[in-house]
Chains A and B, each alone.
Chain A
């Protein structure tokens, strides 16, 4: 299928999922009721405008950004097993956010993304110090996972010693869109400015794919590109994690699916990965919310149930 037709199809799928996400939940609404829900006079105004619309928007934004950062990392390290959560970046960011929330409860929540960014950067730096730039795919992944285990055991410890509200705890351990609203949408909006930068780097990333020597002889500075792309990716991951917690496997699965659909050219791959990520997270959140209302599962559980087998399959194919 041509990339144009395919992206149109994917876009349509996102629209359908957005509509479904607005319509299903503890109360199911018809399409007319959804449209009327946007005006303040309607009885569904609260459900739609205050509850489901920001949540759906967040699923779209976070899904897209997580998938994009996964695609960037995979492109620039040339490692099929890499993704922000496998490399421990999302858990590092989550740990920093949890530390801020539990140890300094009086600090404004608007500092959360910045704390998460620091945590994510530290985690990335630490991994780079441990592994250097010439580690095998498996060694890099396993070191990242070991680091992630450490971060999540510290998060566990903080959660268990200072009981927060339990839904909050699950959010920080598995990732969820529970209880997120317009405030969080406002928090994530500034970080969208990183997306055009990522697109601008797409051409260079194509050259990086050719190998270090070829890319250098074609005029691309490998270290600068790598640093730049990784920094953008860590920034986007940190922004997402500070809002939704570490949603597992999304940054791993979405870029792979996109690559199977449209191939490895980054000008097409990056947008496609974004749309696939949106689709996956919308779907995960929808299923997690509607499987047994009013009880909610964290969306991170759904992505893990989907993503872990995919990771195993990738592992089998990695030489």
Chain B
């Protein structure tokens, strides 16, 4: 690991990309109920043959699943990195600050209680709900002042999350009694991924990822503090509005596909900061790659843990992420 840290940035990116590709390839054929061999997984993509069942499985079920898992991971991780710069709070992430719970509440509200709001669409509802929850957290947590109030912001986020989660569960239980589906969705899962979902997901997600990469120089200025950033010519108001919108779109679109996967946005940015330091221009692309790799790997594990049943991928990531959250709380709050 130490030697890896001393590689040039470009080489680090290439190595991590290769790791991501390796995970993705493994995910195509391992722990499959219908046996698929490693070479078949490659051949299905290179030279698909209609007569072989394994090729159909890889192309129609596995490939969209891997792609969606990767993109969801990238979106959530980048959203977490942006939030950490925006609030200058190392604990900030979509799940901790209530964006996840708010987005979930928005989706539940549109799909159960108020179908007359149907013209909103699920993703719009998720974005709106996340925006409202995050706004409340920022106002109550006195976030814009920055400084040492890291803990207060997180506590406000936890309370708003608890409220949103309770309201959402109430709505869903009242509307339908398929509580097990709800539990699975709450934990986050990419098991039902299809090409149809992918077509709706990738244009929005990749556009907002691109937007995030373009904003990264300005995010660096925010890290310097309000006064310094202003004197270096950053327009604070606009930067915050645009970055917040990017975060909301990233989280909202990822959640409407995969459910509430937590802790990615907290975990991954810190991993890439440990590798490349505090420069957001380097952090954001690396974060995207590592987020994708982590979710793809966790998704493969989620099939392995109780083979042949599927465990939601979010439950596995939470098991990795929660101890890390405790560690961060111990070391980064006053």
Q: Give chain A's interface residues, CB within 8 Å of chain B.
A: 81, 130, 136, 138-139, 141-143, 145-147, 149-150, 153-154, 156-157, 159-161, 163, 166-167, 169-170, 173-174, 248-249, 291-292, 295, 297-298, 300-302, 304-305, 307-309, 311-312, 315-316
Contact = CB atoms under 8 A, between A and B. Distances in A.
Residue of B154, B173, B316, B330 most packed against chain A (CB within 10 A):
B173
A302 B329 CA distance: 29
B319 A153 contact: yes
B318 A145 contact: no
B319 A146 contact: no
Nearest to B312: A160
A161 B306 CA distance: 7
The A interface is mostly helix, strand or loop, or mixed, namely helix
Interface of B: 140, 151-152, 154-156, 158-160, 162-163, 165-167, 169-170, 173-174, 177, 179-180, 183-184, 187, 305-306, 309, 311-312, 315-316, 318-319, 321-323, 325-326, 329-330, 333-334
Given A146-B329, A170-B179, A308-B162, 12 more contacts: A130-B326, A138-B151, A138-B152, A142-B329, A146-B325, A160-B187, A161-B306, A169-B183, A297-B173, A312-B156, A312-B160, A315-B155
Contacts of B312: 160
Contacts of B160: 308, 312
A143 B318 contact: no
A32 to B, nearest CB: 32
A297 B170 contact: yes
Given A149-B325, A174-B169, A295-B174, A142 B154 contact: yes
A154 B326 CA distance: 14
B166 A304 contact: yes
Nearest to B310: A160
A312 B153 CA distance: 10
B183 A145 contact: no
A163 B315 CA distance: 14
B318 A142 contact: no
A308 B163 contact: yes
**A-B pairs, 6 with minimum CB distance:** A153-B318, A308-B163, A304-B166, A150-B322, A138-B151, A166-B179
22 contacts: A138-B155, A139-B333, A139-B334, A141-B155, A142-B333, A143-B329, A145-B154, A146-B329, A149-B325, A157-B316, A160-B187, A161-B311, A161-B315, A295-B177, A297-B174, A304-B162, A305-B163, A307-B162, A308-B162, A312-B140, A312-B160, A315-B156
B188 to A, nearest CB: 10
Contacts of B305: 161
Contacts of B334: 136, 139
A149 B159 CA distance: 13
Contacts of A315: 140, 152, 155-156, 159
Contacts of A166: 179-180, 183
Contacts of B306: 161
Contacts of A297: 169-170, 173-174
Residue of A143, A157, A291, A295 most packed against chain B (CB within 10 A):
A157
Contacts of B311: 157, 160-161
Given A142-B329, A143-B330, A147-B326, A174 B166 contact: yes
Contact of A156 (B166, B318, B321): B318
A300 B173 CA distance: 13
A107 B325 CA distance: 33
Nearest to B178: A166
A285 to B, nearest CB: 14
A309 to B, nearest CB: 6
Contacts of A312: 140, 156, 159-160
Given A143-B326, A301-B169, A308-B160, A154 B319 contact: yes
Residue of B183, B312, B323 most packed against chain A (CB within 10 A):
B183
Nearest to B164: A308
Nearest to A303: B166
Contacts of A161: 305-306, 309, 311, 315
A137 to B, nearest CB: 9
Contact of B162 (A143, A154, A173, A248): A248
A174 B168 CA distance: 13
A169 B315 contact: no
B179 A167 contact: yes
Contacts of A81: 155
Given A297-B170, A305-B167, A146 B322 contact: yes
Nearest to A135: B333
Contacts of A156: 183, 187, 315, 318
A304 B101 CA distance: 14
Contacts of B174: 291-292, 295, 297
Contacts of A298: 169, 173
A174 B163 CA distance: 12
A125 to B, nearest CB: 15
Nearest to A300: B166
A161 to B, nearest CB: 5
A174 B162 CA distance: 10
